[in-house]
């Protein structure tokens, strides 16, 4: 299988030294305004692979910085939407080193990870003991109507805006009837491009709602993180959806 774009980032990311230069990005610290929807596929592949290479080169440091982050609220959001019953078959999309994958498995669910950075794939398999598929966001190969829930914690914001509808369509097809989709993304005002060597899109809530609902999902709920702070200070938007 190929590479996958699904990475996780810390909820309180710190500036990273030694920012790598990318031919698609101007040399300046703010988000560049590269809009990937118009790029031909080889260039799209290049910009996505650059982000994967960034994480592959920092896998151990990333794991040390994120393994103890408390995102139980996010895991509970997808499980609560599924309701009583189970155990459920869950896809952890962009599972990183396997923190949440292991947590779901320890709850008794069948948890499967999808990850693109090779070092994260190996780490997730070792840490969780779960299946982890190394795949590519540009060509996801997921079984149809297979998962009860899809959990995308801090991963889909790395998908270029113009590519996201097709990715969401593949996720929708992979869900069973009435299946639940969860996503958490860093909050912004529509910025898209490279920053600190990583490609990302920072959605506001209306922008994210429009693209997900347009892909055939019904909103169940959304909330801001970290919990306990005023909305204007929240750095993350989490949302829960059902396959329409």
Which pLDDT tens digit goes with each residue over 132-167?
A: 999 978 879 999 999 999 999 999 999 999 899 999
Number of domains in the chain: 1
List pLDDT tens digits, range 115-133.
Answer: 999 999 999 999 999 999 9
| Residue 52 within a domain | yes
Q: Is residue 234 part of a domain?
A: yes
What CATH number did the domain enclosing 81 receive?
3.40.50.150
pLDDT at 87 exceeding the cut of 70:
yes
Residue 4 has pLDDT above 60, yes or no: no
What's residue 6's pLDDT?
34
- pTM as predicted: 0.85
Q: Is 26 part of any domain?
A: no
For residue 185, pLDDT beyond 70: yes
Residue 197 lies in a domain: yes
Q: What is the 3-state secondary structure (H, E, C) of the chain?
A: CCCCCCCCCCCCCCCCCCCCCCCCCCCCCCCCCCCHHHCCHHHHHHHHHHHHHHHHCCHHHHHHHHCCCCCHHHHHHHHHHHCCCCCCEEEEECCCCCHHHHHHHHCCCEEEEEECCHHHHHHHHHHHCCEEEECCHHHCCCCCCCEEEEEEECCHHHCCCCCHHHHHHHHHHHEEEEEEEEEEEEECCCEEEEECCEEEEEECHHHHHHHHHHCCEEEEEEEEECCCCCHHHCCEEEEEEEEC
Domain that holds residue 174: 36-243
* Residue 5 falls inside a structural domain: no
Structural domain includes residue 20 = no
């Amino acid at each position: 299988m190929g590479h996958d774009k699904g990475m996780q980032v810390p909820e309180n990311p710190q500036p990273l030294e030694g920012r790598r230069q990318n031919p698609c990005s101007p040399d300046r610290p703010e988000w560049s305004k590269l809009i990937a929807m118009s790029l031909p596929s080889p260039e799209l592949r290049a910009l996505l692979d650059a982000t994967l290479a960034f994480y592959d080169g920092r896998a151990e440091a990333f794991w040390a910085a994120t393994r103890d982050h408390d995102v139980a609220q996010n895991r509970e959001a997808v499980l609560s939407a599924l309701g009583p019953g189970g155990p459920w078959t869950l896809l952890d999309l962009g599972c990183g080193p396997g923190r949440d994958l292991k947590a779901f498995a320890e709850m008794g669910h069948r948890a499967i990870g999808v990850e693109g950075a090779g070092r994260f794939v190996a780490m997730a398999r070792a840490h969780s003991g779960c299946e982890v598929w190394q795949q590519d966001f540009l060509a996801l190969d997921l079984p149809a109507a297979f998962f009860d829930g899809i959990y995308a914690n801090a991963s889909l914001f790395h998908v270029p805006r113009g590519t996201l509808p097709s990715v969401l369509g593949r996720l929708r097809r992979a869900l069973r009837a009435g299946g639940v989709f969860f996503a958490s993304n860093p909050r912004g005002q529509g910025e898209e491009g490279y920053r600190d060597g990583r490609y990302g899109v920072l959605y506001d809530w209306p922008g994210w709602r429009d693209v997900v609902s347009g892909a055939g999902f019904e909103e169940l709920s959304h909330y801001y993180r970290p919990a306990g702070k005023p909305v204007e200070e929240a750095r993350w938007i989490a949302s829960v959806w059902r396959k329409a």
